[in-house]
Structure 1
Amino acid sequence: MARLPLEDNFTDVIAKAQRGLKISDEQLAERAEVSVEALAAVKAGEVNDVVIRRISRHLKLSANALDDLAHKRFYPVAPVFPRGFVMFNTAFEDMTVNSYLLWDARSRFAAVFDTGANADGLIDMIEAEDLDVRHIFITHTHDDHIAALPALAAACPRAEVWASELEPVDFPGARTFAENAHFHVGNELAIKTLFTWGHSPGMTTFFVTGLSWPVAIVGDSLFASSMGGSPTHYADQLRNNHEKIFTLPRNTVIAPGHGPLTTLALEKQHNPFFAR
């Protein structure tokens, strides 16, 4: 797979924080002691270190991480899984979206996390590896993450479709889970559900153990160097991410809904929303 671009650039991060905190351009410029014109130029993509650092404080963002993002100094390098984990990336309108296939090497039982916009690659891999998909887990029900659900479910007739009780998926026979629900895939893989809502009402992170590294499949809760936007539940989103994702083991691989894989250790250093 070609190197995926980061989901957000530094202007996206600024905009998400500003919307979430409900700070106008005039208010932000006054608090940061910069001109409205200079702020507008940065928001349009001009890399001005002085302005970026001044506004970061008032947006509760890490100045160093935001500056690194603006200068494109950071790109995450996640570990390679020798088996049992495959990421798929498919085009949806003007963006791309991720889905994931995980399996137990001994039993060949498997689980899919989100569907992306097209499940052809997923289905080909399932058939090539002779996998028995028992679960299709949905992080949240935005169209880009469930567009291929009918095709995937038809190709995996033994699979149960699961989504949060806070955000059920509209699909025949779909089931719901509560927070801290536990699932097993074969003898090796254990899955725990964590409600990291904010971007959507029932956004779920699936914490998976039993592979070469622990994995958090986070949907749009978190991206490499950013997170999903939430103009209405921004504080809840930050709190849920802090309490439920950033307390996981540091070597956890972060598998986001958009953009490249990353790790929790890297995000603690390089994500403007969470780095300190």
Structure 2
Amino acid sequence: MNWFPVPLGGLQTNCYVLYSEDRKCIIFDPGEEANKLINILSGKKLEPAAIMLTHAHFDHIGAVDPIRDRYRIPVYLHEREAKWLGDPALNGSGLFPVGPPVRVRHAEHLIKNEGRMELDGFEFDIFETPGHSPGSVSYYFSENGLVVSGDALFMGSIGRTDLPGGNEKELMKSIHSKLLSLPEDTIVLPGHGPVTTIEDEMDSNPFLHGFGSKP
């Protein structure tokens, strides 16, 4: 399996495309600029199978409908944020003057539990990692040694918790119990900024010192 990031929108939210040798792909967090993403997918001759959302903040969902409609594919989102897609007050687009309110149609599939998932040849684990938002999830591809962490963990930082439903204590618990427990060489694909690894964050992330960082 291969992957690549596509930073989208004014906040440069990382959309990730993971694809197999047969050119099937999964799209994570198409935040904006649908035409840009479609052109990249077309250029690489990729066939999308689904949209997976780490959470439902506006900068991660803005291109969901045009991508879904273009490829006729389903959207997956945690059930705790089922109503957020169409509600600017919840998804945050009503709180920031960066553009028109974001309203997206409901997700076809709601994630209700953690566990192993198989989707069109892709196999991965779903971890509930709330704190940045109540329905935040991370997607772990053990065979490939990578995790799509959304806005839970960044290079040298962690997700903000001052938006609706945010909880710092819950976020720290999610990071330490779900993410830092992964193999240290696991590649972390965050919602913003550069790619990192679990080991690097255990060593140098100032927000994690004293909460399980290596001595």
Q: Sort the TM-score into its range (normalised by shorter chain).
A: 0.7 to 0.9
| CA root-mean-square deviation | 1.8
SS where residue 125 of structure 1 aligns? Answer: helix
* Contact 2:75–2:109 (8 Å) recurs in 1: yes
Q: Is it true that 1:218 corresponds to 2:149 in the alignment?
A: yes
Aligned to 2:90: none
Going from structure 1 to structure 2, the CA distance change for 1:130 and 1:185 (only over 3 Å counts) comes to: farther
Equivalent residue runs for 1:82-93 within 5 Å: 84-92=2-10
Report the Cα distance in structure 2 between the residues aligned to 1:177 and 1:259, rounded to whole angstroms.
26
SS where residue 159 of structure 2 aligns? Answer: coil
Identity, in percent, stands at 27
Equivalent residue runs for 1:152-167 within 5 Å: 152-157=67-72, 159-167=73-81
* Contact 2:8–2:30 (8 Å) recurs in 1: no
Going from structure 1 to structure 2, the CA distance change for 1:230 and 1:172 (only over 3 Å counts) comes to: closer
* Contact 1:164–1:203 (8 Å) recurs in 2: yes
SS where residue 161 of structure 2 aligns? Answer: coil
SS where residue 184 of structure 1 aligns? Answer: strand
How far off is 1:96 after superposition?
Answer: 1.8
Q: Is it true that 1:243 corresponds to 2:177 in the alignment?
A: yes
Paired residues, what number?
Answer: 187
Report the Cα distance in structure 2 between the residues aligned to 1:262 and 1:126, rounded to whole angstroms.
24
Going from structure 1 to structure 2, the CA distance change for 1:111 and 1:125 (only over 3 Å counts) comes to: same
Pick which of 235-244 and 116-125 moved more: 116-125
Aligned to 2:99: none
| TM-score, normalisation: structure 2 | 0.80
SS where residue 80 of structure 2 aligns? Answer: coil
* Contact 1:87–1:98 (8 Å) recurs in 2: yes
More helix by share: 1
* Contact 2:137–2:149 (8 Å) recurs in 1: yes
How far off is 1:116 after superposition?
Answer: 1.9
Gaps of 5+ in 2: 87-104
How far off is 1:153 after superposition?
Answer: 0.9
| TM-score, normalisation: structure 1 | 0.63
* Match among 97, 102, 121 for residue 36 of structure 2: 121
* Contact 2:76–2:107 (8 Å) recurs in 1: no
Specify the structure having the higher radius of gyration (Cα).
1
Aligned to 2:17: 101
Pick which of 173-182 and 192-201 moved more: 173-182
Aligned to 1:208: 141
Aligned to 1:132: 47
More strand by share: 2
How far off is 1:177 after superposition?
Answer: 1.1
Gaps of 5+ in 1: 1-82
Report the Cα distance in structure 2 between the residues aligned to 1:124 and 1:183, rounded to whole angstroms.
28
Structure 1 runs (4+) greater than 4 angstroms displaced = none
Equivalent residue runs for 1:22-33 within 5 Å: none
How far off is 1:223 after superposition?
Answer: 0.8
Q: Can you list the C-alpha shifts for 1:66-102, whole angstroms capped at 9, x where unaligned?
A: xxxxxxxxxxxxxxxxx6201011232xx32111000
Report the Cα distance in structure 2 between the residues aligned to 1:140 and 1:255, rounded to whole angstroms.
14
